[in-house]
């Protein structure tokens, strides 16, 4: 299946009935936007301890423990399939609750943010609220690492330059997702995203959660914010039980690969 959340797009395999052995090379081939299908992340649905287990791959073939928009898309698919309005999903990030938020919107609890340096993880002990990196960014873990820069004008930042430099900063041993965030108001943020192993994306759920947490920790906003991304708007609410993310989802199509394409993967 091809799905997207605000233009943050995914290929999704439903492997609950039949196992699919995804290799990094396979993920790269399918993720190629000219020679494959193209995606920001590949997600695989399998049977799990809850209603389903989700595994995520970046377009460079690397694994990602979390992918918020893909989780929302798949939660919507599974709720439509079952007729239920809430689900319990498992990921490498941990157990995630999902629910129908009404009006065609889907909410997922992305869990508690990881605020200590060794949880993010960072290479050494530093203040995660003020990293020793030019631009004074904030480090946050959401099952994957994040580096958030607060800027006066998000549109003016050359993300294709800043993104890869920050992604590969030695302070982040597992590389990092990068955000540039402009505070519009006490409950409103404009954000752009560079995703680890992907590049510039139109949206990112885990990045939105990390940015909302960073802004609240800095005292720039409250804990419930609207985040405007290149692909649309997400609503983030950092509650006592975790960081809730709410937004729209789209199931674009379902299809099959041709034998010719599958043979090219072997």
Where in the chain are the domains? 2-110+249-264, 138-240
Q: How far apart are CA 264 and CA 204, in angstroms?
A: 30
Other beta carbons within 10 angstroms of residue 92's beta carbon come to 14
Domain at 2-110+249-264, CATH class: alpha beta
Q: How many CA atoms lie within 13 A of 211 on its CB side?
A: 34
Q: How far apart are CA 55 and CA 48, in angstroms?
A: 11
Residue 229 — very low, low, confident or very high, per pLDDT cuts 50/70/90? very high
Summarised one tens digit per residue, pLDDT across range 182-215 is 999 999 999 999 999 899 999 999 999 999 999 9
What is the chain's Cα-based Rg? 18
**Record: fold of 138-240:** Diaminopimelate Epimerase; Chain A, domain 1 (3.10.310)
Answer whether 2-110+249-264 and 138-240 agree in fold. Answer: yes
Summarised one tens digit per residue, pLDDT across range 143-157 is 999 999 999 999 999
- Where are the alpha helices (H) located in 60-114, listed in sequence order? 68-82
Other beta carbons within 10 angstroms of residue 257's beta carbon come to 13
State the residue for tokens 């993010």.
120
Summarised one tens digit per residue, pLDDT across range 245-260 is 999 999 999 999 999 9
Peptide bond into 104 cis (omega under 30): no
Reported pTM? 0.92
């Amino acid at each position: 299946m091809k799905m997207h959340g605000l233009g943050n797009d995914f290929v999704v395999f439903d492997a609950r009935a039949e196992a699919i052995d995804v290799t990094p090379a396979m993920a790269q081939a399918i993720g190629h936007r000219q020679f494959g299908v193209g995606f920001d992340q590949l997600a695989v649905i399998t049977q799990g301890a809850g209603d389903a287990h989700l595994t995520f791959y970046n377009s460079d073939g690397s694994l990602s423990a979390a992918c918020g928009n893909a989780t929302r898309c798949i939660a919507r698919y599974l709720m439509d399939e079952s007729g239920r309005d809430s689900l319990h999903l498992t990921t490498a990030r941990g157990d995630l609750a999902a629910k129908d938020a009404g009006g065609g919107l889907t909410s997922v609890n992305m869990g508690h943010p990881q605020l200590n340096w060794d949880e993010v993880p960072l290479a050494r002990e530093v203040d995660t609220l003020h990293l020793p990196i030019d631009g004074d960014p904030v480090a946050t873990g959401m099952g994957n690492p994040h580096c958030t820069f607060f800027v006066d004008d998000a549109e003016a930042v050359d993300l294709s330059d800043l993104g890869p430099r920050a992604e590969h900063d030695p302070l982040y041993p597992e590389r990092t997702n990068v955000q540039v965030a402009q505070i519009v108001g006490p409950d409103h943020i404009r954000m752009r995203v560079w995703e680890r192993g992907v590049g510039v994306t139109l949206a990112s759920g885990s990045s939105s959660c990390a940015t909302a947490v960073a802004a609240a920790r800095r005292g720039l906003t409250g804990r419930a914010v609207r985040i405007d991304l290149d692909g649309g708007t997400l609503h983030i609410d950092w509650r006592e039980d975790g960081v809730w993310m709410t937004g729209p989802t789209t199931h674009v199509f379902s299809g099959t690969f041709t034998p010719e394409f599958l043979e090219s993967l072997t």
